[in-house]
Amino acid sequence: MKKIVSLACVLALSVSVMAGCSSKSEETKAAETTADTTAETGAESTAAGDSGKLIMATEAGFAPYEYTEDGETVIGVDVDIANEIAKAMGKELVIQNMTFDGALLAVQQGVVDFAAAGISVTPDRQEEMDFTIEYATSKQVVVVKKDAGKIESVEDVTEGTIVGVQMGTTGDFYCTDDLGCEVKQFGKYAEAALELKNDKLDCIVMDSLPAEQLVAANDDLEILDGELFTDKYAIAVKKGNTELLDQMNEVLQQLIDEGKIDEFTINHTTK
């Protein structure tokens, strides 16, 4: 069982959200700024008061689950799922693109209706928000620069390894707390890929499907055989929002039973 840093840290202080959880001061500022900006632009009032809209928080740098088309429109597996949920509820889906930590913070604060961003269900996160049924299972894999020779197997990712991760993900926490790696956090995996190619990282730890997309776009990178651990995803809603949770679970179960989520995944991994 992998350890995950408690999301209680994320809301530990009312004045300075996430302050003191770790050395992640930059991601903390990003998350706070994102949540504050979202609230200022009206998402909070929309989520709370306009029953005709369903507000989704995501981080559109996690293909195939969420990514941008033409650098602007957010699409992906999670977006397809969210559109089905919104349609079943008779609402308009509104997507708020932000940092991963910002998305978790926004749903906890009620700034948005839900967050879908390849979110892993962990005991610590379950203390801070509620989750739907799990709808996807994915491997966490290791991406390296071809012929670099530094990391040749997943077993080589150990204490002292310089690892690139997306901030706030389970890969981030796992490499930091379970493996004791020297972790460098990024908002986007594309940023980590650039650092890897410039020999400033030994490897990147990430979800297998986005890793396949990343390697396809960078022919000097490759995925090592094997996996570090298996991850499962669900949609997060504000703690106690059982009405929305039940509605989402009903749609999710139907999509799973009909094989629709598999179709969505294939569609976004063959583009």
CATH number at 189 reads 3.40.190.10
Average pLDDT over residues 137-159: 92
Check whether residue 83 and residue 101 sit in a common domain: yes
pLDDT on residue 270: 53
Residue 15 has pLDDT above 60, yes or no: no
Check whether residue 30 and residue 100 sit in a common domain: yes
Check whether residue 129 and residue 23 sit in a common domain: yes
Q: How far apart are CA 260 and CA 267, in angstroms?
A: 10
Does residue 209 or residue 44 have the better pLDDT?
Answer: 209
Q: How far apart are CA 214 and CA 193, in angstroms?
A: 8
Q: How far apart are CA 59 and CA 55, in angstroms?
A: 14
- Which element (helix H / strand E) includes 236? strand 229-238
Residue 28 has pLDDT above 70, yes or no: no
> Among all chains, which residue has been given the structure tokens 């020297």?
182
Q: Structurally, how many domains does the chain consist of?
A: 2
Q: Which of 46-60, 163-177, 185-199 has the lowest mean pLDDT?
A: 46-60
CA distance to 90, 93, 103, 251, per residue, from 52 (Å): 7, 9, 21, 18
Check whether residue 160 and residue 175 sit in a common domain: yes
Taken as a whole, the chain contains a residue count of 271
Check whether residue 182 and residue 223 sit in a common domain: yes
Residue 255 has pLDDT above 90, yes or no: yes
For residue range 39-87, list pLDDT tens digits in order. 333 344 345 455 799 999 999 988 788 989 887 899 999 999 999 999 9
At 27, list the tokens: 């991601």
Give the count of beta carbons closer than 10 Å to the beta carbon of residue 260. Answer: 16
Check whether residue 34 and residue 145 sit in a common domain: no
Does residue 48 or residue 202 have the better pLDDT?
Answer: 202
> Among all chains, which residue has been given the structure tokens 């397809």?
80
Average pLDDT over residues 121-128: 93
Check whether residue 121 and residue 197 sit in a common domain: no
Percentage, residues of the chain above pLDDT 70 = 80
Does residue 95 or residue 1 have the better pLDDT?
Answer: 95
Max Cα-Cα span within the chain: 56
Average pLDDT over residues 16-30: 35
Residue 188 lies in a domain: yes
At 242, list the tokens: 């059982």
Residue 2 lies in a domain: no
Check whether residue 218 and residue 99 sit in a common domain: no
- Which element (helix H / strand E) includes 88? helix 77-89
Check whether residue 200 and residue 238 sit in a common domain: no
Residue 247 lies in a domain: yes
At 269, list the tokens: 């991994």
pTM of the predicted model as reported, rounded to 2 decimal places: 0.63
HSE-CB of 35 using CA atoms within 13 angstroms: 24
Check whether residue 59 and residue 116 sit in a common domain: yes
Burial class, 227, CB count within 10 angstroms (exposed 0-12 / middle 13-18 / buried 19+): middle
The pLDDT mean for the chain works out to 83
Check whether residue 124 and residue 152 sit in a common domain: no
DSSP string for residues in 131-145: E----EEEEEEEEEE
Distance in angstroms between the alpha carbons of the first and the last residue of the chain:
35
Domain of residue 27, residue span: 7-136+233-269
Give, as one character, the DSSP assignment of residue 187: S
CA distance to 102, 149, 241, per residue, from 99 (Å): 5, 32, 23
Q: Which of 12-16, 38-42, 187-191 has the lowest mean pLDDT?
A: 12-16
Check whether residue 45 and residue 124 sit in a common domain: yes
Percentage, residues of the chain above pLDDT 90 = 61
